[in-house]
Amino acid sequence: GNRSFQGIYDVTGFVTGDGVYTVANAPVPPSSNTVDWGAVWNLVTVYELPGASQRLVQFYTGNGGGSHLFCGGSLSDPDKVITASGFLTPAAGPVDGQLSFFALDASDSPVHPDSIYIGAKLAANRLFNSQNPVGNVFNSSFSLTNGDPIVRNPSVYGTTQENADIDTFDLTPFLGNSQSSVTATMDCQSNDGTLLAGMVFSFAFQAPILEVAKSSTDVNGGALLPGEEVEFTLVATHALGSDEDA
């Protein structure tokens, strides 16, 4: 049968900047083992870039608790739906969103079709790019939002096919203004089983424009004298026209 390992740890204290980060000791069988097996270590880094727009980042890891989400392997396997929420796209103007995923056992054969739908399960809502054809999104590819392959060093680990996917897609065509949630549906009606190790949603947003009014009151009343107690009140409201004033 299939065997896999996925580890999830908070390594913020170890990732201090650019550099090479190494992981090891995943509990997997030796390569001579005849069963299908895999191990997943992915480093997800959220960082601050001066001058860049603010983004909300949400990380989903399979079924939670460190276990992966299995999709496919049977024509009767139900779809898997992941919902991202807690964000709010601008009330007007352009919207910007991205989705990255990491998966194992991703056969590159189009004989076993597989798709991810954003929003309703319609043909027009399937993710694809030049590295991931329509209906074959789990195909052992490593791609950026524009479809260009990810430059890796080394380009391949070991001498066998990795059967892994790391891909990022532009969600902008699937998002509207004042939207606060979105679903990603994995079409699992395929004999090609896929282990989803993680998904990362990223949404650009604009911080609200606040107007703050300050007033003060002499607690004792009368004229304000040195040494008296004064109570200050701050009232913050959204400025009209602010993207968050919807």
Give the model's pLDDT for residue 85.
87
pLDDT at 104: 78
Q: How far apart are CA 105 and CA 232, in angstroms?
A: 62
pLDDT tens digits, one per residue of 88-129: 888 888 889 999 998 876 566 666 668 899 999 999 999 999
Query: What pLDDT, in 10s, does the model give residues 187-229?
Result: 866 656 777 888 899 988 766 677 888 988 888 887 778 888 8
Q: Are strands 164-170 and 97-104 parallel, antiparallel or unpaired?
A: antiparallel
pLDDT at 159 over 50: no
DSSP structural state of residue 58: E
**pLDDT score recorded for residue 66:** 44
β-strand partners of 5? 39
**What pLDDT sits at residue 105?**
67
Neighbour count for residue 82 (Cβ, 10 Å): 19
pLDDT at 183 over 90: yes
Contact indicator for 195, 103 with CB cutoff of 8 Å? yes
Q: Quick one: what percent of the chain has pLDDT higher than 70?
A: 72
pTM: 0.73
| Token pair recorded at residue 63 | 């079924």
Q: How far apart are CA 72 and CA 2, in angstroms?
A: 13
Amino acid at 155: S
Which pLDDT band, with edges at 50, 70 and 90, does 32 fall under?
low
* Residue at 199: amino acid letter: M
Nearest to 26 by CA among 47, 40, 9: 40
pLDDT at residue number 67: 47
To the nearest whole number, what is the mean pLDDT of the chain? Answer: 79
When pLDDT is cut at 50, 70 and 90, the band that residue 244 belongs to is very low
Q: Tell me, what's the pLDDT at 245?
A: 41
Distance, CA of 2 to CA of 34 (rounded, Å): 10
Q: What is the pLDDT of residue 75?
A: 60
Of 105-109, 140-144, 152-156, the range with the lowest mean pLDDT is: 105-109
CA distance 140 to 152: 14
Q: Are 105 and 194 in contact (CB under 8 A)?
A: yes
